């Protein structure tokens, strides 16, 4: 165990200097309170979970105090937002406090989101509201528990500061952790501003800090790109298999580590709707659920463009051509596991499509249907309107299932009971806005073990009530 005061810092990114980030001092919250903390994320820093109760914990994560070894910096980046290039983005309201090395030698960026204005704030106030901070906290820790690569969240604090969005809200801060905060948009910034020496420096830094094995390859930059591509594809395949819509897949929200990053108006599906658009501001449905794999490909092409000073275009194109086949293979692998189909058979994609089409036609709850199929086929039948079509499908599904007894146990460990539905998050946020943080904490605890039925918590496994269906989530945060 390490105590909070003794965290060991080694601020590699800050040492790259002012070309890559700007020194900024956090603007503290007033009268901060701790809303929720993650013992799992604390463990990554070797911290005792009891330390979350200390005064210094809340002070450090609300910008009131700062370690003498920390070097808060706002990073510069750009990116494609909704398909259009925005030349100047950057950390407008979040600061990289520093990089902590844990007892196993891992590096963890500590990033304080909502820490006040920076040179990249543009028209923004540099603040984050309680609502969006809770949403990011819960999603980070829920995705992790589902086995989906993601940035992590250590805690949320809230202050008295009024913050103005569609209405007045309370200012909050989220402490985000990731092994790196480098985004696709970092590379785009230096490419489009024609700072190719700085771009080379960024590439070398990313190779050393994120992809050290690629340094040994014949073509390190190409090899790194291939790894980024594969990780990104695997992450998106998991989103598709578990019904997660990111909502704002702009290239500035794509992590170079292929982890889920920068949560805005995300949503897990409730009833299955392939074309679901979770972001109220996404009028064209660019980031609809079923477009995520193709958008991943588009974003990877943007990253490829930024690497053209170092890698032959034809080589990058050859890598990009692998995206959709790799996606389909990984997605089918995950879905076969969820359905208990052993091995690969030629009709699998069609059989899966027929199930999804029936879910779409019956507006079946995606998660409940798949869990019931793993637990008890006959109750799954209740999720469908056209029973005859379902029965015909079920016969083929049962014939397709693995005969061995281990298969059932396997299916229960990949079909979650508990999902971070928007309405559950909303209930917790409503209570938190009234200063009752118990619901956020309880929901967080339930979502730490999504695959196990938890006695007394049946309500959390239920489909949404009428008011909680299709909640519109705005981009404002």
Q: 243 contacts which partner out of Mg ion, ligand AMP, none, CB within 5 to 8 A by kind?
A: none
Burial of residue 216, with CB atoms counted within 10 A of its CB: 0-12 exposed, 13-18 middle, 19 or more buried: exposed
* Binding track, positions 202-241, relative to Mg ion; x by CB under 5 A: ----------------------------------------
Judged by CB, which is closer to ligand AMP: 224, or 248? 248
Task: Provide the minimum distance between the beta carbon of 86 and Mg ion in the complex, in angstroms, as a whole number.
Answer: 11
Q: Which residue do the tokens 């007894």 mark?
A: 405
Nearer to Mg ion, 78 or 253 (CB): 253
| Count of CB atoms situated within 10 Å of the CB of 234 | 18
**If you count DSSP H runs as helices and E runs as strands, how many of each does the chain have, helices first?**
17, 13
For residue 331, the SS3 value is helix
Binding partner selected for residue 259 from ligand AMP, Mg ion, none, CB under the kind-specific 5 to 8 Å limit = none
Q: How far is the CB of 17 from Mg ion (least distance, A)?
A: 23
**Number of residues counted as binding Mg ion (CB under 5 A):** 2
Do the Cβ atoms of 450 and 268 come closer than 8 Å?
A: no
Q: Smaller CB distance to ligand AMP: residue 133 or 415?
A: 133
Options 205-213, 215-223, 261-269, 406-414: segment touching Mg ion (CB under 5 A): 261-269
Q: Which of 2, 8, 33, 121 binds ligand AMP (CB under 6 A)?
A: 121
β partners of residue 22: 74
User: Which CB atom, from 59 or from 125, has the smaller least distance to ligand AMP?
Assistant: 125
Does the annotation mark 252 as catalytic? yes
Q: Binding to Mg ion by residue 262, rule CB under 5 A?
A: yes
**CB of residue 367 to ligand AMP, shortest distance in Å:** 27
Phi, psi of 109 (to 5 degrees): -70, 135
Q: How far apart are alpha carbons 379 and 88 in whole angstroms?
A: 53
- For Mg ion, which stretch binds (CB under 5 A), given 42-50, 213-221, 250-258, 285-293? 250-258
Partner in contact with 92, chosen from Mg ion, ligand AMP, none, beta carbon below 5 to 8 Å by kind: ligand AMP
CB 225 to ligand AMP: min, Å: 23
Is residue 267 within 8 A of residue 422, CB to CB? The reply is yes
Least distance (Å) between residue 125 CB and ligand AMP: 5
Q: Which of 28, 126, 159, 293 binds ligand AMP (CB under 6 A)?
A: 126
388 three-state secondary structure:
helix
Residue corresponding to tokens 């917790």: 428
Q: Which of 140, 253, 279, 362 binds ligand AMP (CB under 6 A)?
A: 253
Take residue 430 and report the two structure tokens written for it: 């409503």
Burial of 447 (0-12, 13-18, 19+ CB in 10 A): buried
- The interface partner of residue 347, options being ligand AMP, Mg ion, none and the CB cut-off 5 to 8 Å by kind, is none
Contact pattern for ligand AMP over residues 258 through 297, marking x by CB under 6 A: ----x-x---------------------------------
- Listing DSSP states for 176-196 in one string gives EEES---BHHHHHHHHHTT-H
Say if CB 130 and CB 170 are below 8 A apart.
yes
C-beta of 78: minimal distance to ligand AMP in Å? Answer: 9
Report the site for ligand AMP in 59-98 (rule: CB under 6 A): 89-93
The backbone torsions φ and ψ at residue 158, rounded to the nearest 5 degrees and listed phi first, read -130, 150
Instruction: Single out the catalytic residue among 109, 234, 252, 273.
Output: 252
How many residues bind ligand AMP (CB under 6 A)? The answer is 16
**Minimal CA–CA distance to 256: which of 325, 294, 202, 295?**
202
Which residues share a beta bridge with 245? 267
171 binds ligand AMP (CB under 6 A): no
Residue 124 interacts with ligand AMP (CB under 6 A): yes or no: yes
Q: From Mg ion, ligand AMP, none, which one binds at residue 98 (CB under 5 to 8 Å depending on kind)?
A: none
The token pair at 20 is 């890559």
User: Closer CB to ligand AMP, residue 279 or residue 358?
Assistant: 279
User: Using N-to-C axis directions, what is the helix angle for 220-242 and 196-210, rounded to 10°?
Assistant: 60
DSSP track, 348-372: HHHHHHHHHHHHHHHT-BHHHHHHH
- Known catalytic residues are 252
Residues that bind Mg ion (CB under 5 A): 253, 262
């Amino acid at each position: 165990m390490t105590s909070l005061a003794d965290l060991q810092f080694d601020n590699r990114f800050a040492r790259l200097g002012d070309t890559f980030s700007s020194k900024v001092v956090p603007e503290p919250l007033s009268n901060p309170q701790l809303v929720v903390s993650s013992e799992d994320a604390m463990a990554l820093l070797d911290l005792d979970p009891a330390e979350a109760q200390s005064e210094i914990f809340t002070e450090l994560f609300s910008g009131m105090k700062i370690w003498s070894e920390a070097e808060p910096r706002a990073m510069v980046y750009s990116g494609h937002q909704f398909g259009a290039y925005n030349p100047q983005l950057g950390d407008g309201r979040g600061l990289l406090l520093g990089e902590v090395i844990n007892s196993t030698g891992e590096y963890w960026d500590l990033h304080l989101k909502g820490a006040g204005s920076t040179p990249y704030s543009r028209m923004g106030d540099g603040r984050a509201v309680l609502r969006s901070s809770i949403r990011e906290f819960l999603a980070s820790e829920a995705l992790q528990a589902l086995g989906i690569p993601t940035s992590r969240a250590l805690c949320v604090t809230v202050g008295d500061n009024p913050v103005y969005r569609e209405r007045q809200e309370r200012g909050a801060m989220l402490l985000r952790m990731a092994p790196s905060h480098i985004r696709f948009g970092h590379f785009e910034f230096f490419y489009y501003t024609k700072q190719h020496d700085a771009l080379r420096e960024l590439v070398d830094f990313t190779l050393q800090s994120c992809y050290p094995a690629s340094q040994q390859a014949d073509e390190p930059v190409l090899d790194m790109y291939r790894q980024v591509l594969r990780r990104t594809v695997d992450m998106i395949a998991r989103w598709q298999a578990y019904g997660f819509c990111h909502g704002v897949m702009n290239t500035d929200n794509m992590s170079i580590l292929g982890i889920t990053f920068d949560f805005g108006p995300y949503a897990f599906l409730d009833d299955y709707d392939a074309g679901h658009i979770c972001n109220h501001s996404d009028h064209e449905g660019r980031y609809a659920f079923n477009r995520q794999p193709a958008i991943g490909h588009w974003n990877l092409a943007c990253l490829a463009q930024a690497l053209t000073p170092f890698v032959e275009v034809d080589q990058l194109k050859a890598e990009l051509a692998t995206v959709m086949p790799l996606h389909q293979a990984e997605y089918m692998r995950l879905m076969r596991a969820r359905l208990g189909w052993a091995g690969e058979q030629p009709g699998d994609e069609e059989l899966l499509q027929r199930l999804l089409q029936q879910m779409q036609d019956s507006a079946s709850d995606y998660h409940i249907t798949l869990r019931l199929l793993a637990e008890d086929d006959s109750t799954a039948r209740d999720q469908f309107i056209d029973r005859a079509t379902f029965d015909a499908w079920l016969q083929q599904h049962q014939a397709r299932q693995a005969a061995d007894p281990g298969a059932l146990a396997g299916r229960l460990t990949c079909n979650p009971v508990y999902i971070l539905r928007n309405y559950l998050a909303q209930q917790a946020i409503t209570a938190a806005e009234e200063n009752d943080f118990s619901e956020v904490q309880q929901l967080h605890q339930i979502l730490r073990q999504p695959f196990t039925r938890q006695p007394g918590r049946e309500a959390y496994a239920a489909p949404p009530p009428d008011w909680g269906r299709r909640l519109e989530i705005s981009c404002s945060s």
